[in-house]
Structure formats: structure tokens, C-alpha cells
Amino acid sequence: MYRNLENYLLEISHYLAVKEGAEEILAEIKSHILEKTEAEFETINEDNISKIISGYGKPQQVAAKYLEGFEIISPTFKRHLFLYTGILFVCHLGLSLIAFLFHSSMVGFPFLYIPDMNIWQFIFYVPMAFIYDLGLVALFLYLVTQKKREIRLPWPRLFAKAKPANELRKPRISFMVFLILIFLMFLYFFVQFGTIFFASMNNPSNPVPMFDRSASLYYSLLFLAMMACEVIGYAVRFISRSRLLDLIKNFVILILLQFVWNNPMKADFAEIPGVDLKNNMIAFILIITIVVAFKFLRSLISVGIQQFTLKK
Amino acid sequence: MEIDITNLETEMNRGFLQILVLAALEQKMYGYKMLKFLEETGYTVEENTLYPILRRLEKNGVIKSEWDVSGDRPKKFYLITPLGRSMRKKALSIWGKQNDILKKIMED
């Protein structure tokens, strides 16, 4: 028994993922090495065997030669892997956002479980969701590859031809000025009256705030931060028109919206006869959330699909 | 500038080695002996290349094998099958045609 030879064969066996005959392959390699050692050195010992082993090749390379033609995933599915992962991830992220914003969990046994998450859990969940989706698609393509039948997988043109992550439209100075003015106007309201939400402005010098003071402060600051994101996002376009920046901006706004949704309307609303201020406010925030979520997913598709499919 | 044709040589050898093995295995041989036999004819092949090819050919039924355990150590002997002879004939015919085409192009 030669320890180095046994170790060498053992290591080859770790990489030798053949369905049958692995022991026979190892026996043949062993027989060959011993035969060659004897032929070249006359004496078989560990030192001489080591010299022959070094010429035979690294265990991984040796095993790889037996595995030619046995792909885990067919190379022809490479683009499918990234395209399907991109589509699945966008759906996954969309559902996660809904679960996150509405404080609910989702279960689609055995493939999907989205828990009720706080902001930090959500941030950590997103990359994990991507890895999970990649694994799920890889598993599917592995099974298809192992079937060894000619299976024609769908190639969704809608996503495959998704607009490439070309640059955003060129910014206009006039619109930039308009955005800044709007922001400054709301900032003025906030500084002047402690809120940007009003139930009535019939008396401009003394408008009626929509909520009590603490709620006004909370929601006004959040919405001012969102507006600041929009202004900064537009201003950055003068330097870079990358879609990735747009994606980041929308993500930040979604995070801010999460703080709005996670603090249900417990505010004391001003009372105006015939007007349901609370429901109007919820509808307003819902519309903003849908628009931002849509913009976020559109940016994600544009950047993600382009990154993972067309450039590969 | 020296041109590296290692990859091309490897690709070309892949098919050629199979024909060589089918030609050599008219007589029963085990792996190490076959390597030596091929070396004597001027053809050098890496041992870790030969054995996987032998296994693939055996799986396709063009060669067969049997273990001889009578000696100092067990040896796996290979021999061509009737299917292998038929394959060798066809392979040589293809090879001949390829050579003719190449010659014709080079002459032109």
C-alpha cells in the first residue's frame, strides 16, 4: 500500500462524478502508475511513485478528462440562465416590495416564502432573493440538461429585447430650475408653518394643517426627503445619465415610503365637512408608491436584463 | 513571432487518436503497453488523455475490455470489436477524403 498513490486516487475520486465505473477507472490509473513506476525505476516506492504521479496530472484535470461531454448545465442555456433569473428576480422583488410595504408575508410552497420584514431585513433579503432565484433557475436548467432531450425553452422576447440600459434623457436646465423652485416652495411652507400638508389654504397667512404637529413634522420631513432625492437625482444627470443611478434613487425613495407605510395614519386629521382627509391621504401615498415602484422595477429590468443577458 | 498551435494540435489529435487506437487494438493491449506502442511509432500521447478515450470507445461498443488478474497486478486489456472495425473503416475513408480535399486545395 502506497499512501501517496492512495491519496492521489482518493482525490481524483472526489472529482470523478461519473454515474458508473468510477472504481474501475481508479483501478486502471493505479495499475498504470505502478506499471510505469516499475518500468522506469525498477523499484516501486513512494518516492518513485510521486515522480510518476506528478507527470500524470493534477487530480482535477485527470477527472475532468473523463467528464468531457457531461455538462451540469448545457452551455447553450447560459443566456437562459441569466434571462430567467432576471425575470424571476424582478417578480420576486415586486412581491417582496408588496409584502414589505403592506406588512404581510407570502407563501407559495415550496418555492416562495416572503416574510414580514422591517427595513433592514428587507435590505438583506434582496441579495438573498437574487441568489435563491439564480439557484432555482440553475436547478431547473440542470434537470433539463440531464434529460438530454432536445427541449426548446421559451425565450420571452418582451424581456430579452427589453430596452438596453442606455443613458437617461438629457436633463434640461429649465426643468431643473422648476424642480428646485417647487422644492424650495415646500421647504418654505415647512419652515413657515411646520408642515407641507394643508387641509385648507383659504387664509394663506394662516393655513389649516392637515394633521397634528408631530404627524406633520414626520410626514413633511419624509416627503421633503423624497423631493430632495428627485432634485438630486435630476441634478446628477448633468454629470452622469446612468440608469443605475436612477435605480438607486428610486430605491431610496421606496425606502422612505416604507417609513410612511410603516407608521399608519394615527395622526389626528383636521376635520373638514364632506372630505375624508385620511382616505385621501392614503390614496395619495398609494399612487406615489405605485409610480415609484413601477419606475424602480423598470430601471431594474433595464439594468438587470441588459447586464445579465445581452452583454454575456 | 512564434505561433502557438497547441490548441489546434489537441483538437486534431482528438479524432486521430481514436483512429490510431482502433488500428492498434487489432492485438490485445493494456493501456501502458499501448502508450509504448504508440511512442515507438512516433506518436506521443499523454496517459491521462488515452485512458478516457479508451473508456469512451468502450462505452460506444467499438472496443471491449477484460481484466487480467493472473500477473503481479491486475491489468485491463482492450481489443477492437466488429463494430469498431466497421467504424475504423469509415473513419479512414473520411480521413482519406479530407486529405484529398486538402491536397487539392494546396495544389490549386
- ipTM surpasses 0.90: no
**Chain A residues within an 8 Å CB radius of B47:** 32, 36, 56
Is the CB of residue A49 less than 8 Å away from at least one CB of chain B? no
Is the CB of residue A60 less than 8 Å away from at least one CB of chain B? no
Give the per-residue pLDDT at A306: 62
d(CA A248, CA A237): 13
pLDDT in tens, chain A (312 residues): 799 999 999 999 999 988 788 999 999 999 999 999 999 998 999 999 999 999 999 999 999 999 887 888 888 888 889 888 888 888 888 888 888 877 888 888 778 889 888 777 887 888 889 889 999 999 999 999 888 777 788 877 666 555 555 677 888 999 999 999 999 999 999 998 889 988 887 777 788 888 888 888 888 999 999 999 999 999 998 988 888 888 899 889 988 888 887 765 567 777 877 778 888 888 888 888 888 888 887 787 777 666 655 544
* pLDDT, averaged across chain B: 91
Where on the phi/psi map is residue A302: left (φ > 0), alpha (ψ -120 to 50), or beta?
A: alpha
Residues 6+ apart with CB under 8 A from A191: none
DSSP code of residue B2: -
Contact: A65, B31; criterion CB under 8 Å: no
Higher per-residue confidence, B31 vs A147 = B31
Give the per-residue pLDDT at A299: 80
d(CA A224, CA A199): 18
Which three-class secondary structure state does DSSP give residue A211?
A: coil
Give the per-residue pLDDT at A312: 44
Give the per-residue pLDDT at A169: 81
Contact: A68, B32; criterion CB under 8 Å: no
Contact between A280 and A312 under an 8 Å Cβ cutoff? The reply is no
Give the best residue of B47, B54, B77 to mutate against chain A (max A CB count within 10 A): B47
Mean pLDDT of B58-86: 94
Chains A–B, number of C-beta pairs less than 8 Å apart: 42
Q: Which helix (H) or strand (E) holds A216?
A: helix A213-236
Question: What are the contacts of A272-280 at 24+ separation with CB within 8 A?
Answer: A272/A199, A272/A200, A275/A199, A277/A199, A277/A210
Residue A154 CA: distances (Å) to CA of A79, A81, A82: 12, 12, 13
**Chain A residues within an 8 Å CB radius of B31:** 28, 31-32
Which three-class secondary structure state does DSSP give residue A107?
A: strand
With residues binned 3-state (H G I as helix, E B as strand, rest as coil), the percentages for chain B, rounded to 5, are 65, 15, 25
d(CA A4, CA A10): 10
Which residues of chain B are at the A interface, by a Cβ-Cβ cutoff of 8 Å? 30-32, 46-49, 51-52, 55, 73-76
Grid cell for residue B70: 493472473
**Chain B residues within an 8 Å CB radius of A23:** none
Q: Which of A118, A108, A115 is nearest to A88 (CA)?
A: A108
**Chain B residues within an 8 Å CB radius of A39:** 32
d(CA A143, CA B29): 39
The identity of residue A31, as a single letter, is S
With residues binned 3-state (H G I as helix, E B as strand, rest as coil), the percentages for chain A, rounded to 5, are 65, 5, 30
Give the per-residue pLDDT at A308: 59
Domains belonging to chain B, first-starting first, are 6-107 (1.10.10.10)
Is pLDDT at B106 greater than 90 in this prediction? yes
Is the CB of residue A24 less than 8 Å away from at least one CB of chain B? yes
DSSP code of residue A102: T
| Four-CA torsion A128, A132, A138, A140, nearest 10 degrees | -170
d(CA A304, CA B66): 55
**Chain B residues within an 8 Å CB radius of A25:** 51, 55
